[in-house]
Chain A
């Protein structure tokens, strides 16, 4: 009878979802602490730090993404219920939304169309492959919805997920500065622009600025997820992209 050595424990653990799930939580909690410690400096956005650290760990340990995702899927799965949960802030802001429904609707429909077409256009101009262009199209929409749309229009859902997260990070990093440069002070306008452009990651940033900006950003994220899901597939077909 041989004693279980470290490598056999590793072989056992790397085959179970526990390790992938635990490491996701541990790294995120540490990254979040670091973020709070650095006065919420957007460059230390916990999503970026966590993803970077996890990729380094997986590469160093020779772990495949599939093996990691066995555990990661439990976190990933919650994106579905979280999307449904958006109905609650949407309902709570409904009285404000009712007053502003016309500007919000116009801004949303134009924003959603601009987000999709501008990314496809720039990528095409710079010679990206068709599949990359199609994966970019829903990049401003919250991940679970964007992945669904990407699959429908012929993109790569997993690539879309990465592009969605990157877009959110870019929006969260520069969004508030750009809006300040434009001289926009109204929290409802700032929130709608942030939510349409940078979905949940932008919304998390908006909540740091003010609860009102956060609520409008969350609202825009929920509405634009729905609007993009309805508008984008027929639009892509129409333009024969």
Chain B
């Protein structure tokens, strides 16, 4: 029962998120809006109901399964991927490496600057 309650809460927030996005013509997808609304609710209530905890843990622990049907969609794009495979794969590989490296270095740099700033304040 608890899993059902949890998944129902998630569906309600997704639905409210979709409606909010449509109604206010926001640029974000409905589920993201649902996530934000749920996050704000949790901040206000200051606790997560156990049912929500278990439902979200279950869904998120099998997150990679949920990508499978979309990934199989690759077969529809075989022709495009065949024609543009070099630019697509290089774009993905280079961009992934660059993003990973720069994001890590920027975050590390900022953290070090903050620590240094705090020390000089003491």
**Chain A interface residues (CB < 8 Å from chain B):** 24, 28, 45-47, 50-51, 54-55, 58-59, 65, 68-69, 72-73, 75-76, 78-92, 94, 100, 102-104, 106-108, 110-111, 114-115, 118-120, 122-123, 126-129, 132, 136, 139-140, 143-145, 147-149, 152, 156, 158-159, 161-168, 170-171, 174-175, 178-179, 182, 184, 186, 188-190, 192-194, 196-198, 200-201, 203-204, 218, 222, 225-226, 229-230, 233-234
Contacts and interface: CB of A to CB of B under 8 A. Distances in A.
Contact of B100 (A51, A78, A139, A197): A197
B73 A75 contact: no
B10 A84 contact: yes
Given A88-B53, A90-B39, A145-B32, A103 B111 contact: yes
Contacts of B56: 85-89
A226 to B, nearest CB: 5
A28 B104 CA distance: 32
Contact of A119 (B34, B48, B95): B95
* Majority SS at the chain A contact face: helix
Contacts, number: 305
B35 A24 contact: no
Interface in B1-60: 7, 10-11, 13-14, 17, 27-32, 34-36, 38-39, 42-43, 48, 52-53, 55-57, 59-60
B13 A110 contact: no
Nearest to A162: B74
B107 A192 contact: yes
A51 B71 contact: yes
B63 A82 contact: yes
Given A91-B42, A119-B95, A230-B27, A84 B70 contact: no
B48 A100 contact: no
Q: Which 9 A-B pairs have the closest CB atoms?
A: A72-B69, A148-B29, A126-B87, A85-B56, A161-B70, A111-B103, A107-B107, A103-B110, A83-B31
B55 A85 contact: yes
B27 A136 contact: no
A119 B107 CA distance: 21
A55 B72 contact: yes
Nearest to A179: B104
A234 B63 CA distance: 29
A148 B30 CA distance: 9
Interface residues of B, number: 70
B14 A122 contact: no
B99 to A, nearest CB: 4
B67 A184 contact: no
Q: Identify the interface centre among B72, B73, B108, B114: most chain A CB within 10 Å of its CB.
A: B72
B32 A139 contact: no
Nearest to B98: A118
Interface in B55-102: 55-57, 59-60, 63-77, 80-81, 84, 86-88, 90-102
B102 A114 contact: yes
Contacts of B38: 84, 87-88
A132 B84 contact: yes
Nearest to B38: A87
A190 B104 contact: yes
Given A86-B60, A115-B95, A102 B90 contact: no
Contacts of A78: 59, 66
